[in-house]
Amino acid sequence: MSPIVSELTSLSLVEARDGLKKKSFSAGELATAHLTAIEKARALNAFVLETPERATEMAKASDARIAQGKAGPLEGIPLAIKDMFCTAGIRSTACSHILDNFVPTYESTVTSQLWRDGAVLLGKTNCDEFAMGSTNENSAYGPTLNALDTTRVPGGSSGGSAVAVQADLCLVSLGSDTGGSVRQPADFCGIIGLRPTYGRISRHGLLAYASSFDQIGIF
């Protein structure tokens, strides 16, 4: 991995935000560094869909807004989204062959707010099928491997989102938690996972496991 990729992918979200404000690097460079890291780490199977073209477009738009002094609170921040979230025009499968060809025509509330605030989509992450599992071995697209020890599971169901952060493939990722599916993989992967108070974050556009219990969480 090149030094510039390693340097940019090892930043915290706050460090990346501040670096973009200071123009120490561009959103385009930050996105490219993470896309390169994702490509090199495909053996982990953290992502079920990479979106390099979309990421490049979004990063270019972020750089333009930064130059104009119109940056949003997450401007240029590259992130990953669990494949349980509907993303308009981008395949959203819940890691099930049942939804192999499902391309939503609408955006989940959470992702629409992320794009509004300038975040950059790197891709959709692996999970147990319809979020039903706790090891990320039950995905239709194969298991996700724990980056610290590939003989061990990363936890689930949001294992792909956890590993994406653990392996420095993104600065932050979204998961969903019904009975521990953010908190448990965060623990297994040695990172921080937050499950906010139930109802604090809109579930609109989140493909349901058990909708009256599902809650969106952050890695």
Query: Which of these is catalytic: 26, 62, 82, 124?
Result: 82
Partner residues linked to 206 by β-bridges = 85
Contact at 8 Å (CB) between 128 and 142?
A: no
Crossing angle, helix 13-21 and helix 27-40, to 10 degrees? 140
Q: Which residues, 6+ apart, have CB-to-CB distance to 24 below 8 Å?
A: none
Contact at 8 Å (CB) between 137 and 153?
A: yes
Q: What are 143's two structure tokens?
A: 């298991």
Query: Which of these is catalytic: 139, 157, 158, 176?
Result: 157
* 26 in catalytic set: no
Report the candidate in 29, 26, 23, 52 with the shortest Cα–Cα distance to residue 39: 52
Encoded amino acid at 75, one letter: E
* 157 in catalytic set: yes
CA–CA dist 58, 54 (Å, integer): 6
Encoded amino acid at 169, one letter: L
Q: Which residues, 6+ apart, have CB-to-CB distance to 61 below 8 Å?
A: none
Q: Which residues are catalytic?
A: 82, 157, 181
